[in-house]
Amino acid sequence: MKVTCTGRKVSLKPSFIEKAQAKLDKLDKFFAGEAEAQVTVTVEKSGQTVEITVREKGLVIRAEKMQERMEDALDDAVDLLTRRLVKNRKRLGDKLTRSVAVEWPAETEPEESYDVIREKRFVVKPCTTEEAILQMNLLGHSFYLYRNMDDGQIQLVYRRANGTYGVLIPEDY
C-alpha cells in the first residue's frame, strides 16, 4: 500500500511515518489491487488528530481519531478502519480481495441492515451557496441540497463539526 503522510501544524518524525506504513501495510490483505492511503496529522490545543483515507478503484474508506498522542490516535484510527472493513465485508463484496488466504476476524457485531424509513421528494431550487446556507439555517438542518445558479449543477452545503460550512460538488465517475 502506498502511504502518504502529511502534518498540519507539525513536522512528522520518521519513526511515526514508519509506524503508519507498517500498520497500514497490514490492511493490504483486504484489498485486491494497489490501495493508496493518506494519513493527515493535525495538532490542536485539544489534542492530536489522525485522519486516514484509503482509496482503491472508487472505494474510499475513512477514519479519524483524536488523542493526546498522535501514535495513540493512529492506533485507534487503524483499528476503526479494520472494524469498518470487517463489518461491511459482505456489502463490499468484489471491491475487496477474494483471496482465500485472507482470514477475516470474527464478527463482533451483527451486520446492520440499511432500512430506508422515509423518502422525501422536493423541488431543487436554483440559488447561490450563500442563499443555500441561509435556507439551511432557517430550516434548522445540517445540510441543504440545491442547484447552483452559476452552472446549474446539483450541490450540497453542510455544516461541519467545527461550525464552518462545506460544499459537496459532484464529479463524473
Q: Which amino acid is at 154?
A: I
Task: Enter the C-alpha cell of residue 35.
Answer: 490501495
- CA 162, 164, 165, 171 dihedral sign is negative
Q: How confident is the model at residue 99 (pLDDT cuts 50, 70, 90)?
A: very low
Is 2-95 a domain of CATH 3.40.50.10600?
A: no
The dihedral over CA atoms of 154, 159, 161, 165, expressed in degrees to the nearest 10, equals: 80
Task: Enter the C-alpha cell of residue 145.
Answer: 441540497
pLDDT at 109: 55
- Check pLDDT > 90 for residue 72: yes
What is the rounded distance in angstroms from the CA atom of residue 59 to the CA atom of residue 35?
9
Per the CB < 8 A criterion, the answer to whether 47 and 33 are in contact is no
- Check pLDDT > 90 for residue 65: yes
pLDDT at 85: 82
This prediction has a pTM of 0.65
Which pLDDT tens digit goes with each residue over 129-166?
Answer: 999 998 888 878 899 999 999 999 999 999 988 889 99
Residue ranges covered by each domain of the chain:
2-95, 126-168
- Check pLDDT > 90 for residue 167: yes
CATH architecture of 126-168: 2-Layer Sandwich (3.30)
Segment 110-137 shows an average pLDDT of 83
Question: Three-state SS string across the chain, please?
Answer: CEEEEEEECCCCCHHHHHHHHHHHHHHHHHCCCCCEEEEEEEEECCEEEEEEEEEECCEEEEEEEEECCHHHHHHHHHHHHHHHHHHCHHHHHHHCCCCCCCCCCCCCCCCCCCCCCCCCCCCCCEECHHHHHHHHHHHCCCEEEEEECCCCCEEEEEECCCCCEEEECCCCC
